[in-house]
Amino acid sequence: MEFHQLKTFITVARTGNVTKAASELNITPPSGSGHIKLLEEEFGVILFTRTSRGMRITSHGELLKSKANDILTASNPV
């Protein structure tokens, strides 16, 4: 798990769309999808349900979202 993967995950969760998230993060959509795929493989769970309207976070994704927010917040002290 890398910080950039968590940032991508959080942004996809917020926007519900890999393309929008990638644009905000200045990465390509395939790179963003790859970040999500690597996290799913690492944890052995599905984090998003892919739909024709975008990405919908799963219950496993919601658990990671809470932890990812804590990790990213802790990594950027004020």
Task: List domains and CATH numbers for the chain.
Answer: 3-75 (1.10.10.10)
Closest by Cα among 63, 43, 48, 40 to 15: 48
Confidence band of 77 (pLDDT split at 50, 70, 90): low
Q: What pTM value is reported for the model? A: 0.89
Check residue 78 and give its pLDDT: 62
Tell me what the mean pLDDT of segment 3-21 comes to: 95
Tell me what the mean pLDDT of segment 15-32 comes to: 96
d(CA 30, CA 19): 9
